[in-house]
Amino acid sequence: MNDLGQDLELRLVRYFTVVAAHQHFGRAAADLHVAQPALSRQIQRLEKYLGTRLLDRVPQGTRLTPAGQRFLPRAQALLQAARQAELAVRGQAEIERITIGYVEDLVITAAVGELRRRYPDAEITTRYLSCRDVGALSDKHVDALIARAPLPLAADVLTTPLYEEPRMLVVPRGHPLADRPSVTSEELAGEEAAPCPFETTDWTSYRILGADVPPIESYEDKLELVASGRAIAVLPVGDRRSSLRPNLVTIPIEGAPSSQVVLVSRKGDPNPMIRNLRLVAKAVLTAPAA
């Protein structure tokens, strides 16, 4: 008779397989780091549960009974299946995790929300990136990056285009171009580009009154230069932050290359959540309405 109301304990099964391997209670106890009397009691518990003897004591140690011989391969298979189940769960817990980097003017809420809806057990975090974080992907601080191309990244990355946006000119009110219905890219040729690769000001151009401007990282500081008449800016139309300042005007640009939003990840990264993000981002992230 087995113990009513109790399930077979894997610990007892493992003890049995170790004793069977050593064919000796003393050596098995030393291997398991348990006292020999305690090991004997645990084997007796297993035999009581199964309702049959598994081991016989002999002068040389122990030997399997016919029931023990039948039970041993099944016990080993049971332990192996339990180990594989444990590894599968632990592996899943390790890979269902992703950190998504994004740059300041892009809104990725729709993609993150859909990813969380589809994979509720995954750990999904986001990280805002500034100019100083240009190495976040290669340094593995993020698993994927949603930003605007081109990016100063190594060749061993996988880039997925998501959508494109036309560009617009941002100037202060009263600027000679402020009342124009549109401007051409040729009219803006020769302007100096801003230095930050991770901001939408990658096309920010300075028209300085006979002086150079040192590199500026803060987006608000760049807008302040524009508002003061010391610079002009070329931005994607989806970047609405300049519209929050009443002293700035936006003008469509004809003939300027589009701004492309891309998802970038490391080549060969086995994290399946990156593929899941790629599918979701392509499905839900679109260019904002003009």
Question: Could you count the other beta carbons within 10 Å of the beta carbon of residue 57?
Answer: 11
Cα separation, 147 vs 107, in Å, equals 10
The answer for residues whose C-beta is within 8 angstroms of residue 13's C-beta and 6 or more apart is: 46, 75, 78, 79
Residues 203 and 187 sit within 8 Å (Cβ to Cβ) = no
Q: Which amino acid is at 83?
A: R
Instruction: Confirm if 274 and 95 have CB atoms less than 8 A apart.
Output: no
Closest CA to 267 of 171, 156, 169, 180: 156
* Token pair listed for 135: 């190495």
- Residues 31-74: tens digit of each pLDDT: 998 999 999 999 999 999 999 999 999 988 999 999 999 999 99
* Range 232-247 average pLDDT: 80
Distance CA 273, CA 120 (A): 12
Left (φ > 0), alpha (ψ -120 to 50) or beta: where does 67 sit?
A: alpha
pLDDT digits (tens, 9 = 90+) for 100-133: 999 877 889 999 999 999 999 899 999 998 777 7
Q: Are 225 and 206 in contact (CB under 8 A)?
A: yes
Determine the pLDDT at residue 201: 40
Per-residue pLDDT tens over the stretch 144-159: 999 988 777 766 899 9
Nearest Cα to Cα of residue 239 among 225, 254, 222: 222
Tokens found for residue 272: 């399946």
> pTM of the entire structure?
0.59
Q: What pLDDT is attached to residue 4? A: 43
Beta bridge partners of 125: 99
Q: What is the reported pLDDT for 41?
A: 94
CA pair distance 162, 229, nearest whole angstrom? 34
Q: Decide: 262 and 198 in contact? Cβ < 8 Å.
A: no
**What's the whole-number mean pLDDT along residues 245-264?**
88
Question: Is the predicted pLDDT of residue 1 greater than 80, yes or no?
Answer: no
Give the C-alpha separation, 137 to 99, whole Å.
10
Q: Which single residue is written with the structure tokens 């519209």?
A: 243
SS3 126: strand
